[in-house]
Chain A
Amino acid sequence: MTLPTPGAATSPRARWRRLVASDLWHDFTRSPLPMLAAAIALLCLGGALFAPWLAPHDPFDLARLDLADSHLPPAWLADGRATYVLGTDDQGRDILSALLYGARISLTVGLCSVGLSVLMGVTAGLLAGFLGGVVDALLMRLCDVMLSFPPILVALFIDGVGRLLFPQARDLLAFAVLILALTLTDWVRYARMVRAATLVERHKEYVQAARLVGVSTWRLLRRHVLPNVLGPVLVLATIQVGQAIVTEATLSFLGVGVPPTNPSLGTLIRVGNDFLYAGEWWITLFPGIALVLIAMSVNLLGDWLRDALNPRLR
């Protein structure tokens, strides 16, 4: 495989040299589209990460909001003002600032849920593949049931159940319910994939050898099997980050996602949608463009990574 394996190279410089020398990097530097996608993804990530420093205004400081500044179009239109580059919404919030903070929330929810579902799915997959028997049968039947429904419906159902269980869910709890819904929807794919790979690995000599030496099951799974099944998981996780961000935005757009006090990109689009008929397209369009840019660039990177790591397509 061409993935630089962690642990093999010790110093950061040696790792960097290995990365540059790898086929993957070679492929990457010669494909303009993935490079553009990576640039856009990094830009969005940077914008989200440094939102408090980059944003020209603080959109959540109620004291500094002025209703006289509401409904302003972008700066290049007739009534626009230079301080509000992308215009303002109905409460006088700067769209650009709200967008940066919104991207921060969207990315946080997306990355958290993907991280959690990788953790959950990989653990379940390793256990199912390695232990077999009842554990395997139960887990895989559960996967079958969940995979026969589209993810957005599963997420909506779990979200609905979460709302039934915690009727007073506000702010932090609402975030937890949302991330949990996305996680419980996603983990199945990793579990399936890792289980299949583990079934292959468990019969190989190195596993038998490790067993003979008396390595405990947990350590065997973590240190020996896991590194060998992680490649495809990485690809899937990349694609799923884009998917999770879009799912989050959809749930928020439908009004069952993040609380309105902390608007994500989806919430911003939902709010702006009401002003579409008044001709105020900028309130909804700019968050929409940001969402599409993030989703597209992550998808492109994932597609490229999948093809680049697939020996059949070389």
Chain B
Amino acid sequence: MARAVIIIVLSAWLAGVAVAQGPEVSLGVVKEAYERIDIYMGTLDVLSGGMASVDVATEMETTIAQDLKFSGLFRVGMLESQAETDSLSFQFAIRGQVEGPLRDAEVTGEDAPTTISLDLVTYPDGQLLLNKRYRPMPHRMRATAHHFANQVVEMLTGESGIAMTRVVFSRGSGDRRDLWVVDYDGENLMRLTSNRTLNLCPDWKPDASEIAFTSYSRGMQVLYSLDTATGKVRQIIAQEGLNLGASWRPDGEELLLSLSRSGDPEIYRISPEGEILRRLTAVPSIEISPEWAPNGRELVFTSDMTGTPQLYILDDVGSSRRRLTWEGNYNDSATWSHSGEQIVYATRENDLIQLVLIRATGESRKLLTDARWRNCEDPSWAPDGRHVVFASDRTGTFKLYVMDVLEGGVRQLTFGDEPDITPAWSPR
């Protein structure tokens, strides 16, 4: 009985989770009808293990359901959210069971195994498509749910899921901004630096083993790399002037960086050990904000060589320069989608920064945000090529939000009083 009550409450919560997490506000700008897959998240059977296993089952159900919703690819129904469930025509369902440790088992506590078995089946005939059995450590329940959600996304859509991705960002104000990391769903917020200075513009190495970021030492900019397994920080490069805007090449072998050692900021290719490999620009203006294309052979960057900042595409030997932006007199912060087809960037209009979507060819420019969101800055694509994390000060303080670029929905990712800026979405 108690379990049913819990499920009812949680289902009602989940049905309204869009509001609780931050309203699914339609920006009304980019909106296309998109076919979603209707899937039913069943109540997991608890075979043994008492209340602890009931909690595990609940966490698995709500996390999987949320991951599927957040992917943008599914509409999820659950038991007892009857109104919502009735409007869906399920093609698939998830069911399973949780087996916690038996009361008289010799092993207890941390060592006591909980086995979770999950099935993805067709609905209503129940044909088995996928079965997974997990035996996770107690603190790994949520990660297990994320893992299974990814399997479901991949099996049913062919896309790789983003349920195990994370977002690194810079939090703070005054003279201290530290790197923090958060799961893509807002959970597991964790601080990465505490070095009493400004830490900005992080970028993930493609294998997620390192995060490069700009910091300051005795007032001068330095590029550091943080080892994501150990938390240890090493210096990559510290040239005179700016050491800014690191972008790892997709094969992880090189980085792009803006260095002003020659007198004004230019784009360079450097090794992860800090060796300068190649200078790509040589114009007496500001060249900044480089980002590799997913093909690893081209890059986008910002230059004010015409007088105001605009985006340009360049190849990796510094030739074939092509101007990308022709509208607006202030364009910066480009992020290139993993398919290579789309770029999101920031444009300043009437003193406010807005996000723009453009094809890498330069066609189909579309505003993604408007003045109701105040400033929208620092966009970073998710590896699914559909979601973008960005910073907005619509509440008066910069917080991070995740936008579904295809449908225009937005959810808030980070909360609290401190400004959050320069996010970077992790690789898969």
Is chain B found bound to chain A in the same assembly?
no
Q: Which residues of B contact A (CB under 8 A)?
A: none
